[in-house]
A and B are shown apart, each in its own frame.
Chain A
Amino acid sequence: MAFLSYLINGLSLGSVYAIIALGYTMVYGIAKMLNFAHGDIMMVGAFVAFFALNSFGLPVIVSVVLSMLATTVLGVVIERLAYKPLRQATSLSVLITAIGVSYFLQNGAQLLWSSSTKVFPSIIGNGSLKLFGGQLQISYLTLVTIFVCVAVMVCLTLFINKTKTGMAMRACSEDKGAATLMGINVNSIISITFAIGSGIAALAAVLLCATYPTLSPTLGSMPGIKAFTAAVFGGIGSIPGAFLGGLLLGVIEILSKAYVSTQLSDAIVFAVLIIVLLIKPTGLLGKKLSEKV
């Protein structure tokens, strides 16, 4: 029973990673760049949600929507100002710029918001689902987290496979020049990708802070790195890969914490990543390009 409980907690943490990883992987799939500021965009989402809930006392749904709007706009603006001018530059320059944007957001948050400790309010309450006569308790927050992740995954998949914009995204991910010849505005598609990836990061932010409620300007770094790892684990560029990678990473992390060692859990996560990449360099679902954006 304890194992089942750890597993479910792992899936919940993994769901948060998966949502962040989906943004990472989409942006990579289309813009062919690693947006290292992705975790920090999520951090901004966490602060926006915090202020909406705490300072303005807005309802949870409204706060989440506001937070998503904020990260969507932030993602698009960052792409336009920082990355778009580098479309022809080497990937190394783009990477360094992304790291710069990451620090910029962290330092900006430090200046604006870090005068006092902030504790994220409880948004779902402490209720839980009791199974097996109370032996297994699953908190509603856990259930909501997993549900949101699955919903995001399903919506994204439908969007990419069934809509015209989704088709344009698939075309851009394969060949931007050929996509342009089809009349696809590649710049708008990249903007839309950043918008979606950044928007869903706010969902991850709220779910993460609901579980780990202390806010800080660096709260996005570690989940950002983990989500990046999850995306690589699943096969960078692959949507189902990011989903699977995120969930697995969460489960491995929680199980290693429970059964091996709290200190070593991150090392174990990365060891598993390295082993997977040695066996399958493209990641678990990499190169299954039909599902790639």
Chain B
Amino acid sequence: MLNVENLVVRYGMIEAIKGITFEVKDGEIVTLIGANGAGKTTTMHAISGLIKPASGSIFLDGTDLTKVPPHTIVTRGLAQVPEGRRVFAQETVEENLTLGAFFRKDKDKIEADMDNVYTLFPRLKERRTQLAGTLSGGEQQMLAMGRALMADPKIMLLDEPSMGLSPLLVSEIFSIIEEINKKGTTVLLVEQNAKRALAIAHHAYVLETGKITLSGTGAELAKDERVQKAYLGG
């Protein structure tokens, strides 16, 4: 579904991503783990078009995303839940969800999807007329995920969805990610919470200062000594 090939991203003189290649297969949960500053967000932004890569290709079902206008990427079935949620604080919960479906024309399906989001996140339904900026961190994370779901994506990118959440909420968010995946959405998940991420991932990659240093199934990497030392506190 998603093929990243020899991706290089620079900020001025700094090369943040130094030629990485990885793949996300249809129906999988793939996770990219790495320390602060490894280049996880940069990779996500390159895929969703928020940063223009210096070189390399990003194929979504055969289309090179580096060659299309950034705002059309979501219309091709790729939605991103950005780092730090980035909900529209001055809009209501419902308006945020409506914005998630901004490019869509299928009114009836949009309504059905909104109902599904409210079923998945009942708390959002209770707060549908509340301004997003007044939601708690966890609720904002749910809203950001709901907003991405409103694009009816084939593949969803999540950038550190567990950041700053209580352990209980982290569990909730991870089980919802699995649920979304079981319903047929492919997932690319970036996490610092490597333990949780590896536990649900079919496939995993380790990113270190702009390079992929290890890859394997989630279970393989969870057992790997180097991963345990560096990311699992063992």
Taking beta carbons and an 8 Å cutoff, which residues of A are in contact with B? 164, 167-168, 170-171, 174-175, 177-186, 289-290, 292
Report whether A168 and B102 are in contact in the complex, using a CB–CB cutoff of 8 Å.
yes
B49 interface residue, CB < 8 Å from A? yes
Residue of chain B at shortest CB distance from A292: B90
Q: A264 to B69, alpha carbons, bound, how many Å?
A: 53
Residue of chain A at shortest CB distance from B100: A182
List which B67-82 residues lie within 8 A (CB) of chain A. 69-72, 74-75, 79-80, 82
Chain A neighbourhood of B79, CB < 8 A: 181
Q: A181 to B76, alpha carbons, bound, how many Å?
A: 12
Report whether B91 and A183 are in contact in the complex, using a CB–CB cutoff of 8 Å.
no
Q: A184 to B89, alpha carbons, bound, how many Å?
A: 17
Indicate whether A174 sits within 8 Å of B90 (C-beta atoms), given known contacts A168-B102, A181-B79. yes
Chain A neighbourhood of B186, CB < 8 A: none
Report whether B103 and A182 are in contact in the complex, using a CB–CB cutoff of 8 Å.
yes
B151 interface residue, CB < 8 Å from A? yes
Report whether A183 and B102 are in contact in the complex, using a CB–CB cutoff of 8 Å.
yes
Chain B neighbourhood of A167, CB < 8 A: 95, 98-99, 102
- Which of B71, B72, B87 counts the most chain A CB atoms within 10 A? B71
Report whether A182 and B102 are in contact in the complex, using a CB–CB cutoff of 8 Å.
yes
- Which of B48, B102, B131 counts the most chain A CB atoms within 10 A? B102
Chain B neighbourhood of A290, CB < 8 A: 90, 131
B88 interface residue, CB < 8 Å from A? yes
Partner of B71, one of A170, A174, A180, A292: A180
Q: Which 5 A-B pairs have the closest CB atoms?
A: A183-B103, A289-B90, A178-B86, A183-B74, A182-B102
Chain B neighbourhood of A289, CB < 8 A: 89-90
Chain A neighbourhood of B74, CB < 8 A: 181-183
Chain A neighbourhood of B91, CB < 8 A: 170-171, 174
Chain A neighbourhood of B50, CB < 8 A: 177, 180-181
Partner of A177, one of B69, B86, B100: B86
Q: A179 to B131, alpha carbons, bound, how many Å?
A: 17
Q: A90 to B152, alpha carbons, bound, how many Å?
A: 37
Report whether A181 and B48 are in contact in the complex, using a CB–CB cutoff of 8 Å.
yes
Chain B neighbourhood of A181, CB < 8 A: 48, 50, 74, 79-80, 82
